[in-house]
Amino acid sequence: MELGLAGRRVLVTGAGKGIGRGTVQALHAAGARVVAVSRTQADLDSLVRECPGIEPVCVDLGDWEATERALGSVGPVDLLVNNAAVALLQPFLEVTKDAFDRSFEVNLRAVIQVSQIVARGLIARGAPGAIVNISSQCSQRAVTNHSVYCSTKGALDMLTKVMALELGPHKIRVNAVNPTVVMTPMGQATWSDPCKAKTMLDRIPLGKFAEVEHVVDAILFLLSDRSGMTTGSTLPVEGGFWAN
């Protein structure tokens, strides 16, 4: 299915690893012009070698002022993937202020800031666009030790809907993708223990975790004009976890 992404300028956050890196690679292969944002320079350096021509931007999105400096003059962007996230897992009674603040700064506040930069540019140009927020199956189901992470993703789902409501009149679509566990470096750090993994796999009817490409395929569809009547949605890529 032709997605028509060639020549489009796409900004991807959290581009250094996992889902973000896979998204950059797929967009580059599709002929898109990619702005790759990561806080880790080494990841960007290796990504540039893999995908010549992408534009790397190294910034910690948890720093509002640094993000404004790095992306405030990024130029015209047609499509945005808000993928950057942290997963700082603690039992509820042990949640710290630092973990709470860092989680909401990166998982929610940065989405607002980067989306504002991109959307304002689209509106000023009178151009249509699409934004995809990477949420989680944990946005709608409770998971032990994930109280802050689940909260950030639940908030992100609602933010997605409000963004869709307010940006729709400007022909900007906004959707979320809600994956199950994906065996990225972050997923491996959290779910590599077989006993822990079994507790999650037992709740997934398909009986397996997702591969990066499963999530990337959903992202590319929602970025493309093939999903031109879809906005405000949360697209599960979770093997039936929500049906359980």
Tell me which residue has tokens 């993703």.
Answer: 153
Q: What backbone torsions phi and psi does residue 158 show, to the nearest 5 degrees?
A: -70, -40
Contact 56, 86 (CB under 8 A): no
Check: CB of residue 146 under 8 Å from CB of residue 138: yes
Which residue in 103, 149, 212, 233 is the catalytic one? 149
Residues 6+ apart with CB under 8 A from 206: 239, 240
**Nearest partner of 242 among 199, 200, 203, judged by Cα:** 203
103-33-179-1 Cα dihedral, nearest 10 degrees: 170
As a whole number of angstroms, the distance between CA 18 and CA 21 comes to 5
Instruction: Please return the burial class of 180, using the count of CB atoms within 10 Å of its CB with bins 0-12, 13-18 and 19+.
Output: buried
Tokens standing for residue 92:
């509820």
- CB-based contacts of 1, cutoff 8 Å, min separation 6: 226
Q: Which of these, 86, 82, 65, lies nearest to 175 by C-alpha position?
A: 82
The verdict on whether 149 is a catalytic residue reads yes
b or e along 36-64 (b: 16 or more beta carbons within 10 Å of the residue's beta carbon)?
bbbbeeebbeebeeebeebebbbbebbee
Catalytic residues: 149
